[in-house]
Structure 1
Amino acid sequence: MVTINEVAKAAGVSISTISRVINQSNSVSLATKNKVMEAIRELGYTPNISAKKYNKKSNKLIGVLFPDISNNVFGRILQGVNSVVTPLGYNTVICETNGELEKEIHFLDVLKNKQVEGIIMANVHIPEEHMLWIHRNNKPVIYVCQDIPDFGLKIPISSVNMDNQQAICDMVHFLYNMGHKNIAFIGGPLHDLSAGKKRYDGYMKGLRECSLNTSQDLISFQESFTIADGYAGMNQIYEKSSILPTAVLCACDNLAVGAIDFMYDNNIQVPEHISVTGVDDSILATAIRPSLTTIRHATFDTGVKAAQLLLEYFSSESFKGSSFKMPYQLLRRQSVKHL
């Protein structure tokens, strides 16, 4: 079993500093906290929770709300969250919302009744009802994979996300440099500020920067981000467009898999006849053939950052939240052909 002495040695700090970090003292700098947390994660140290039962201000619960717990993107985020909070004695209460506002508000109330100290949340969009709930209950909320709209309320809220617009713009440039001039787009609902609107905006920005023409016949918006939606979206583009595009950029891997499925059913070969790209680098991206060219965003690190922000809220009432952008990586695989 790893001891607190080993953690202190690995982090290069005193045992008392380790104790202050575990007990969320305000007297430790953020740099030192991060160094200690890294040592705790790497060594797999588990504090003696029973020794801290005297701390009645904390019940060591954190709420997690995800629209689809079967989505491995959210699974990796949860792993990142747990890598930070579990060594400190916190437990996560996980709720699945299906992206429905009524369920989100219901589970927010459930988590409040369970006296969670804070919430990490992913959802399709952030409505005003969320902001009002946070304002009324003063519970810190960290949104992941979503951008925060400006409602003008001073509430304890932050977001951790990648730059969705620029990421998709980069993918357009990649396809252009691979010789593609006729690029279609399958996206989700535009009321989803991040994966919906920002990714569409990135597509349009990329077309403009590459001096490519825009055609509504090459664009399909779907109600969600499922494989079935990708199939339907590719079917719409196939039926509307006079000629088959040389590439289709999909707003997520599920949509891309659905588009490839449609192509298979209609004897259209990928990438020989058309190239396909996605976003997320999900498990399906490497499981299908051809393997999917996609954008990997730092999902595990997103969970780590979200948990660290929540701990900052806990330890400092004056901590001001913000929007944090995480790195991403374009991964070229078999589904794109160089023309």
Structure 2
Amino acid sequence: MKTTAVVAAAAVVLAGAAAGAWEVTREDPADEATAPSVAVTSAAVSRSDIVSRIQLGGVLGYDGSYTIVSHLPPGVVTATPRPGSVLKRGSRLFAVGANRAWLMYGPAPAYRDFTAGMTDGADVKALERNLAALGMDPHHWMTVDRHFTAATAAAIRRWQAAHGVPAAFRTGRLDLGQVVFLPGKIRVGQIPTGSGSQAGPGTTMLKATSTAQVVRVALTTDRRSQVHRGDSVRVTLPGTTRAIKGTVRTVGKVATAADPNSGPATVQLTITLVKPGKAVAGLDLAPVQVDIVSSRSRGVLTVPVTALLARPGGGYQIAVLDGSARRLVKVEPGLYDDDAGAVEVAGDGLSEGTRVEVPVS
């Protein structure tokens, strides 16, 4: 049986409220207990799965962080995208003078010119994969590998033609800065260097993120052990009741030092959304409510939490009904499920279907 301090605390509050509603004067489970002073009914002990949840505040935003710099020749910035725009493979990122930088997908930055005679490398393979995905090798003459060939140059010339480069300037080579490799589609955030500004190699042009939305939570270090990678999550926007399913992707290992004026030290919790949907489309830096399934017990006995009674001297008990007889049985509470209003219990003589006393709601 799995229990947590958080669950026990919740059970104490609710059990205390239930015990305050009706008086118990005898604690011997073998004897009939004094009848309650409020209207009661009965409920069956059930066998089911039960979960415990942690409720936290979080922020909905976009995953990843990319700083995109120019490696084009120096000049005046002539084009930039709009903040919030989504750019995919083959999109223009920005232009300096007549030179343009294009987005392509790749795991590492471009660091050299692409031209005949260059040494083999993973960057060549990334370029060829992008050219093929963009339809620039319609006859499949190009082999996507680490080697720059005549077929690679031909694919570049087709790409140059598709972007209006005059025939005389379709060289079949790409200079450093014309291609920017990023892991995938991006969402443009900030434009540090706008149109009309001067830019040279190393100038920060754009700041962007991926297009995948995530929720970030500042989790206090004392609760870190209660949350695990893969835990199920429900995310709710303020003012709505519809919950979006998610999963804990990472639990931070490096804590942010506590500030005496801002509370305890925290680690970052990152949550991925299963199917974000239209409800969160385009939202950035939006506050959300996060419910994390931190513990789970499977196939255990459960009762309504209102069945719990405080025992004199500490602990809990429930009133078991056997025909017209009523007896008090000591129980050990486990996980508390706020949604179901149920609590995991263990006690002598309890089994599935046993009737227990609960106040009339």
| Shorter-chain TM-score tier | under 0.3
Q: Which has the larger radius of gyration?
A: 2
TM-score, normalised relative to structure 2? 0.18
TM-score, normalised relative to structure 1? 0.19
| Larger relative strand fraction | 2
